Structure 1
Amino acid sequence: MKVVAVLYPDDHPDRHPDVVASAARGLDLGDRLVQAGHELVSTDATGDELDALLTDAEVLITTPFWPVYLGRDRIEAARELKLVITAGVGSDHVDADAATERGITVAEVTGSNVVSVAEHNVLQILALVRNFVPAHRQVGEGRWDVAEVAQEAHDLEGKTVGMIGLGAIGARTALRLKPFDVTTLYHARHRRSPAEEATLGVRYARLDDLIAGSDVICAALPLMSGSTALFDADRLAAMRPGSWLVNTARGAIADAGAVREACASGRLGGYAGDTWYPQPAPADHPWRDMPRQAMTIHYSGMTVEAQRRIADGVAEILDAHLDGAPVPEDYVVAAPEG
């Protein structure tokens, strides 16, 4: 059996021992697979080189951070493929319908980066509201202009935060925001029970009411039908003037051009997140040099601790596949019928 793991490149050999999700380390799966008589190809390949590797691969391991965009054509060309594992959470880069039609199971390591992304949400909310990036930039520039940065620096306390999506990440984000004495609204497909709402410190709102009534909006929902370009020009115009938007969900949830225009005009107080579309983001992506942003590359769910959880989960999924057993149900994103 051939396993292809497409992971991020890492040309820096001295690393924390649990930084395992690079092409160089291959999630530390090599010995396990070789001892079982299988082959691991750990790579950062893209394009034709990757397609050649996939022609006889039975398992593909990919990540949301260095994704293989696995559409119908690529799936049909990978004739031996039986299992696709997302080393992390979020498998929207895989055409699940095309995969299951071909008898391919799609799995991901559920919950592996929930804490990491929730903490990043709070970090980026604070970075925007406190106007941290321009103040930090002055340090490297040798400047000391308090008036320039203070005019757009605010307290988070007393603000209204709107959470769009209240799954595992959204719920942990809300819980971490409680000590800041904010009002937290949420909108989700499934409303939480009154007891859960009290524990998390949240109140349900219709989407339009949340958009219009929030000082900060945090997107924590998957990319799916209805969420692509959820934040287009019209929805951004419906937000409070000067409010802030954080998106660590998926880059395609926001219209890149509309966000840039809203930040440039000051309609948005700022935009932050770590998800882009496509990924890796090209050098000329409109968010790279737009004003009022606190963007990072997509790394929120790749802390040292998260990488260890991801590696352990991928190994568990692989072991089940090697043993001819079903993939643990909580890891399954999509599976063939029967």
Structure 2
Amino acid sequence: MAKVLCVLYDDPADGYPTSYARDDLPVIDHYPGGQTTPTPGAVDFTPGQLLGSVSGELGLRRFLEEAGHTLVVTSDKDGAGSVFDRELPDADVVISQPFWPAYLTPERIAAARNLKLAITAGIGSDHVDIDAAIAHGVTVAEVTYSNSISVAEHVVMMTLSLVRNYLPSHRVVLDGGWNVADCVARSYDLEGMHVGTVAAGRIGLAVLRRLAPFDVRLHYTDRHRLPREVEDELGLTFHESTEAMVPHCDVVTINAPLHPETEGLFGDKLLATMKRGAYLINTARARIVDRDAVDRALREGQLAGYAGDVWFPQPAPADHPWRTMPHHGMTPHISGSSLSAQARYAAGTREILESWLAGRPIRDEYLIVQGGALAGTGAHSYSANG
């Protein structure tokens, strides 16, 4: 029998919901490109419920315990003596979300003597040390595409919020004011601007498709160039590198995974080559940008705005400079954890567990590491040092 250790974020401050704003969710059975949504044998939850917090348990408890397995769910993942560290040594499976990541460092992987499978409930497995997982033969899987469109929608929202100066204008209303000049002094139209994405995979391409109707000029850079018909359809300009693209753009959105080639990419040097007054959106991973360089660029006016929902570490400490820097639109890491997305990544987590527990192959598109090497989606999107 397996021990499954699941790390989820805390319940709402006023308790686990007893009712929800909506009664149902739209039914989605496939993603753009044709990949089907998760297909577990069954689910023990109602789509639209809060599944990503501790009490939601990703809807897994009944399924696992009725089969004789052990499920431990906690939000306590950091610091000496955390529940995660205490339960890890004999865990067979670790499940974590990018929004409240349980960092599987080389030291933790070495201490987890029984660990065989690390599942990301969502997408983005950089909280797992890929090289250590490869060295120790740990399979790493994520629920590919489950929340890609959720993140893409968040990118579009943040882009418009910054360019149109929405958040400060909303604050004027909350504070009882009505100074129109204060609101519009930093408000522009998105129409006609040049918008570029760093990476045009599932999320990046979805962002481009959603922004095209705004009559913007679209740019992208990616290690894998898109088909010519897609470039022609959306009017895309391809650039060989991020460095070559960003000087042309009024808005840059980062949609790349974190790996050695992207870590620290947006530092003082690259930010200085961007148009003065450009906007930077980062819903990918915080360490793709230099924390303090972004703060400086905003205070000095090189950037007109920065928005995103990824921080390092997560949760971010109270004194993190991004909480107080000017002209930002930061949120907690929520872009991929809408209730709609949770229904998909909870179902996908169960699908992965069903396959692994039964000794069946895990979907190739869910795999990041298997058999001591990058595999499936991981071989396409990640890089390893070993």
Normalising by structure 1, report the TM-score.
Answer: 0.97
- Offset of 1:324 from its aligned partner? 1.5
| Distance (Å, rounded) in 2 between the aligned partners of 1:209 and 1:73 | 38
Q: Deviations over 1:23-61 (max 9, x none)?
A: 111101000001100111111111322111111110000
Which of 54, 59, 62 is the matching residue for 1:23?
A: 54
Q: Contact between 2:159 and 2:281, CA under 8 Å: does it hold in 1? A: yes
Query: For 1:7-156, what aligned pairs fall within 5 Å after superposition?
Result: 7-11=8-12, 12-14=15-17, 15-16=19-20, 17-47=48-78, 48=81, 49-156=83-190
Q: Contact between 1:124 and 1:246, CA under 8 Å: does it hold in 2? A: yes
Query: For 1:314-329, what aligned pairs fall within 5 Å after superposition?
Result: 314-329=349-364
| Distance (Å, rounded) in 2 between the aligned partners of 1:128 and 1:202 | 23
Residue matched to 1:308: 343
**Amino acid aligned to 1:46:** K
Residue matched to 2:26: none
| Distance (Å, rounded) in 2 between the aligned partners of 1:39 and 1:216 | 47
Q: Deviations over 1:138-188 (max 9, x none)?
A: 112222221122121000000000111000000000000011000001011
| Distance (Å, rounded) in 2 between the aligned partners of 1:10 and 1:202 | 42
Query: For 1:134-213, what aligned pairs fall within 5 Å after superposition?
Result: 134-206=168-240, 207-213=242-248
- Offset of 1:201 from its aligned partner? 3.4
Which of 271, 291, 313 is the matching residue for 2:306?
A: 271
The alignment status of 1:241 with 2:281, answered yes or no, reads no
**Amino acid aligned to 1:242:** G
1:84 aligned counterpart, secondary structure = strand
Q: Deviations over 1:291-332 (max 9, x none)?
A: 010111100001111000001100000001110122221111
1:55 aligned counterpart, secondary structure = helix
1:293 aligned counterpart, secondary structure = coil
**Amino acid aligned to 1:201:** G
Q: Contact between 1:175 and 1:201, CA under 8 Å: does it hold in 2? A: no
- Offset of 1:203 from its aligned partner? 1.6
Normalising by structure 2, report the TM-score.
Answer: 0.86
Determine what percentage of the aligned residue pairs are the same residue: 46
| Distance (Å, rounded) in 1 between the aligned partners of 2:58 and 2:95 | 10
Q: Deviations over 1:223-269 (max 9, x none)?
A: 01121111101111110001100000101111111111111111100
Query: For 1:286-301, what aligned pairs fall within 5 Å after superposition?
Result: 286-301=321-336
- Offset of 1:336 from its aligned partner? 1.9
| Distance (Å, rounded) in 1 between the aligned partners of 2:55 and 2:162 | 35
| Distance (Å, rounded) in 1 between the aligned partners of 2:290 and 2:135 | 31
2:321 aligned counterpart, secondary structure = coil
| Distance (Å, rounded) in 1 between the aligned partners of 2:147 and 2:122 | 7
| Distance (Å, rounded) in 1 between the aligned partners of 2:231 and 2:339 | 31
Which one is further off, 202-211 or 2-11? 202-211
1:284 aligned counterpart, secondary structure = coil
Residue matched to 2:27: none
Q: How many residue pairs align between the two structures?
A: 338
**Amino acid aligned to 1:2:** K
| Distance (Å, rounded) in 1 between the aligned partners of 2:91 and 2:99 | 21
| Distance (Å, rounded) in 1 between the aligned partners of 2:196 and 2:66 | 50
| Distance (Å, rounded) in 2 between the aligned partners of 1:235 and 1:199 | 30
Q: Give structure 2 stretches of 5+ with no counterpart.
A: 21-47, 374-386
**Amino acid aligned to 1:257:** D
2:351 aligned counterpart, secondary structure = helix
Which one is further off, 140-149 or 265-274? 140-149
